[in-house]
Structure 1
Amino acid sequence: MFHIQTFNQIAEKGLATFSTENYKVGANIELPDGILLRSYSLHEEELSYNLQAIARAGAGVNNIPVERCTEKGIVVFNTPGANANAVKELILASLIMSSRNLIDGIVWTKGLEGEGVPKLVEAGKKQYVGSEIAGKRLGIIGLGAIGALVANDALSLDMEVIGYDPYVSVETAWRLSRQVQRAFNIEEIFATCDYITLHLPLLEQTKGIVSKEAFGMMKKGVRLLNFSRGELVDEAALEEALEVGTVRHYITDFPNERVLQMKNVIATPHLGASTAESEENCAVMAARQLKNFLETGNIRNSVNYPNVELPYIGKKRITIAHQNVPNMVGQITACLAEHSINIADMINRSKGSFAYTMIDIDNGIDDIIKENVLDNIKKITGVVAVRMIV
């Protein structure tokens, strides 16, 4: 039986993925085989010795100590695309909201009283005149699952769309409309667009990517949307850009005390994926990936180990997480040969400095040989995790 520890409230549809016959699931599980969570931070948590995988019901994994997990052979999953539609809808709403002065108009209207409201509305509406987004130029930085959806739907709203992503996947390229223009550098986005929306992971090289220099390139009155990570934007430079009118509105899903004090900021309380449908989609996708890994060893949508899939046909399977170094596979197969174990199928994939190997074996082995084989593989320098699936 596998033990799954949950953090946060996980949608019931996701939890239903785990059968009660083979899984024990709950918040108070000790020594879990897997962890299923949303935004709860694991950085201060102790990772149990037998923890094999962590599945995040969402895209960002800043709340998970990924590097520490990798070194321990713990596979970390996320759910790219599961919440993409929810975030896309909020971005489209924000494009319109920031252009039509809806929030200020709503606040003003709610303050009106008495029988003369209709006349006051007609007299006062001119102060909330906005602009249409049709015909305006939208720059999208990052064309992943969300960015691609935003691009296609913005075209349907008659916007001119240009995207920048030097690492765009083949799958995304197929989904993108041919009407989406390609920017060959990020500076083209900064310099030419009326609206800019960010869809980037927070990495060392992307932190503060919207810098003072970037704001200096922008057209006066640009609207900047950030539904990815707050730290992508240099806050000191942002404040200055808002004060001088370079940025007409900054729309963010990641408010903090400093940003909330700035003028012309529209902040939402991290609502990007906060829909019932999105939470269900993320929970189901995360649970299925975790279940598939625990039962077959196959990896799909991991952030720290490569995607590896080998059809599982019921043979005994050995999975090994290890450093990506020469002769590792040779040493592993030598351990099997020492015990006259025949390999039926095998796959090895790498991602950065770590790799993952799965081996199906032909012949049955008793418990003593099994333990000897696993122990010998564990002793190989660079091996960080080994298990056998039967």
Structure 2
Amino acid sequence: MPKVLISDKMDPKAAQIFRERGVEVDEITGKTPEELAAIIGDYDGLAIRSSTKVTKAILEHATNLKVVGRAGIGVDNVDIPAASAKGVVVMNTPFGNSITTAEHAIALMFALARDLPEADKSTQAGKWEKNRFMGVEVTSKTLGLIGAGNIGSIVADRALGLKMKVVAFDPFLSPERALELGVEKVELEELLARADFITLHTPLTDQTRNILSAENLAKTKKGVRIINCARGGLIDEAALKEGLDSGHIGGAALDVFVTEPAKESPLFGTPNFISTPHLGASTNEAQVNVAIQVAEQMADYLVSGGVTNALNVPSLSAEEAPRLKPYMALAEKLGSLIGQLTTGALARISIHSEGAAAELNPKPITSAVLHGFLRTQTDTVNMVNAPVLAKERGMEVREVRTEREGDYHTLLRVSVKTEAGERSVAGTLFGDAAPRLVELFGIKVEADLAGHMLYVVNEDAPGFIGRLGSLLGEERVNIGTFHLGRRDAGGEAVLLLSVDEPVTPDLLDKVRALAGVKTVMALAF
């Protein structure tokens, strides 16, 4: 009988489900890392919330551990690379608290609109200051959503019920999905200029960090009220305080902070500022939901091998896994590449398998492509939920198979259609094992996709490679591999360089300044 340890306080229904599914369970909470390390070797599964830290040191003692289940979304407390190296599946429950978080955002919007915390404090102090607390109605106001995924779409639905107008900025929101939600799709600058209230519903990534920077906050409508129940770091907190102090920002409510727990913050005590201690998922219903879901997922895996909402493994049968593994690695790299190089709303993504690839189950390959593509924008995507997230964003996903062989024995082509047109990348397997890029936006090129890379599109002219090499040498940037392709002599050329360290914004600016450069980007795999 498999054995699971619940190491954080969790709803009793979790233990009940484990036992009903034939899994032995112990509920031992509050252990120190040393105490957990001493007992973890007895267990096949570990069910946690946010308190337990599943570190590499803990995993080294987890000699029998097969799965870690996080009741909730965030897995910052789990060393996923170390778990993968140990062969431990890491699962989360990404949708169990969506309604609760959306409702908290709406609650904070009302609290800001009517200044409820200060009005309550004043009234209980016996002041009865009716004229001091003159609020605003939300009816007919414009709500700006930054992020229109699962939680954002729920907020939009509630706001529309309140007779608000909703505008949304989300690179993955298609016009069809926007129409279905009843929102107006806009670019970020237009949202900032029009919104009376702004709510954020996006993960913290390199693209979204400080999305409400000092510069962007200055572009907002005077008197705007801002709510963040998503992730700390999406807003420049110092700039937010300046905006509140100056009166340009009419109010702000944060449930999340850059540093948590937020025992101190320059925002504390600022007029028109409301804060809560990361309560977005803190309702009885949400805690029950995530506890039930994590128990069901872990029990399914331990008893029957079913994999759901795994962050580090695809959903595969034992028979398919060995053959599909290299194809999925290729698919994820191609998806990540085209995701990093694509801007604008995505209308369609197509996965075309040729030759030997066409004989395989297309679903895991499609999931791997979507995982690579969406991973550039969200931190909750995995092989299992990538198709669901793509559907939520209104992405049309096409699978095409051609059994005949072309120039290669096996080939995967990933194409995307956006407002700017259609582009594609293609790759193959060398020796049926090593992923290799063979075509990039119609240009033939052979390249590995690994580590940190520099992508350059330039005019094909004598001396350019020398100038680029000299610049990289002056900047002490070591080149690992160098890949070059071009459409025709004197036309457009593409360079893909792998380098030892992350490409800095300063280096990008210097490469961009070279004569003949049309596009330059940093890539990471």
Q: Shorter-chain-normalised TM-score: which range?
A: 0.7 to 0.9
Structure 2 match to 1:30: 40
The TM-score, its normalising length taken from structure 1, stands at 0.73
Structure 1 match to 2:437: none
Match of 2:149 among 144, 152, 159: 144
Return the offset for 1:78: 1.7
Structure 1 match to 2:446: none
Structure 2 match to 1:239: 241
Structure 1 match to 2:81: 67
In the alignment, the residues of structure 2 paired with residue 286 and residue 89 of structure 1 have an alpha-carbon distance, to the nearest angstrom, of: 22
Go from structure 1 to structure 2 and tell me whether the alpha carbon gap of 1:167 and 1:76 turns closer, same or farther (over 3 Å shift).
farther
Alignment of 1:302 with 2:307, yes or no, is: no
Q: In the alignment, residue 24 of structure 2 is paired with which amino acid? A: Y
- 1:339-383 Cα offsets, whole Å, 9 max, x none, are xxxxxx998554549989xxxxxxxxxxxxxxxxxxxxxxxx99x
After the TM superposition, which residues 361-380 of structure 1 pair with which residues of structure 2 at under 5 Å, given as runs?
Answer: none
In the alignment, the residues of structure 2 paired with residue 202 and residue 76 of structure 1 have an alpha-carbon distance, to the nearest angstrom, of: 20
- 1:150-197 Cα offsets, whole Å, 9 max, x none, are 100100001101122223599x949x85421112x3333222211111
In the alignment, the residues of structure 2 paired with residue 149 and residue 260 of structure 1 have an alpha-carbon distance, to the nearest angstrom, of: 29
Match of 1:125 among 96, 121, 130: 130
After the TM superposition, which residues 1-390 of structure 1 pair with which residues of structure 2 at under 5 Å, given as runs?
Answer: 1-19=1-19, 21-27=22-28, 29-31=39-41, 32-42=43-53, 44=55, 46-47=58-59, 48-112=62-126, 121=128, 124-168=129-173, 173=177, 177-183=180-186, 185-254=187-256, 256=262, 257-258=264-265, 259-306=267-314, 308=315, 317=318, 325=326, 348-349=364-365, 350=368, 351-352=371-372
Contact 1:324 1:355 in 2 (8 A): no
- SS state of the match for residue 238, structure 2? helix
Q: In the alignment, residue 19 of structure 1 is paired with which amino acid? A: R
In the alignment, the residues of structure 2 paired with residue 251 and residue 129 of structure 1 have an alpha-carbon distance, to the nearest angstrom, of: 18
Contact 1:73 1:321 in 2 (8 A): no
- SS state of the match for residue 130, structure 2? helix
- SS state of the match for residue 203, structure 1? coil
Identity of matched residues, %: 33
Contact 2:310 2:383 in 1 (8 A): no
Return the offset for 1:82: 1.2
Q: In the alignment, residue 290 of structure 2 is paired with which amino acid? A: C
Query: Greater shift after overlay, 75-84 or 144-153?
Result: 75-84
Return the offset for 1:320: 5.5
Query: Greater shift after overlay, 13-22 or 142-151?
Result: 13-22
Go from structure 1 to structure 2 and tell me whether the alpha carbon gap of 1:77 and 1:279 turns closer, same or farther (over 3 Å shift).
same
In the alignment, the residues of structure 2 paired with residue 211 and residue 239 of structure 1 have an alpha-carbon distance, to the nearest angstrom, of: 12
- 1:196-235 Cα offsets, whole Å, 9 max, x none, are 1111112233222221121121111111111011122122
Query: Greater shift after overlay, 197-206 or 215-224?
Result: 197-206
- 1:274-320 Cα offsets, whole Å, 9 max, x none, are 111110011111111111222233222223333x266xxxxxx5686
Q: Extract unaligned runs of 5+ from structure 1.
A: 113-119, 311-316, 330-344, 357-380, 383-390
Instruction: Let me know the Cα RMSD of the aligned residues.
Output: 3.3
Q: In the alignment, residue 46 of structure 1 is paired with which amino acid? A: I
Q: In the alignment, residue 145 of structure 1 is paired with which amino acid? A: N
Counting matched residue pairs gives 324
Go from structure 1 to structure 2 and tell me whether the alpha carbon gap of 1:326 and 1:271 turns closer, same or farther (over 3 Å shift).
closer
Contact 1:60 1:201 in 2 (8 A): no
Go from structure 1 to structure 2 and tell me whether the alpha carbon gap of 1:98 and 1:177 turns closer, same or farther (over 3 Å shift).
farther
In the alignment, the residues of structure 1 paired with residue 168 and residue 220 of structure 2 have an alpha-carbon distance, to the nearest angstrom, of: 16
- SS state of the match for residue 285, structure 1? helix
In the alignment, the residues of structure 1 paired with residue 363 and residue 234 of structure 2 have an alpha-carbon distance, to the nearest angstrom, of: 37
Contact 1:322 1:355 in 2 (8 A): no
Q: Extract unaligned runs of 5+ from structure 2.
A: 29-35, 331-360, 376-381, 385-432, 435-525
- 1:97-130 Cα offsets, whole Å, 9 max, x none, are 1011111111111011xxxxxxx63xx3011111
Go from structure 1 to structure 2 and tell me whether the alpha carbon gap of 1:51 and 1:346 turns closer, same or farther (over 3 Å shift).
farther
Structure 1 match to 2:445: none
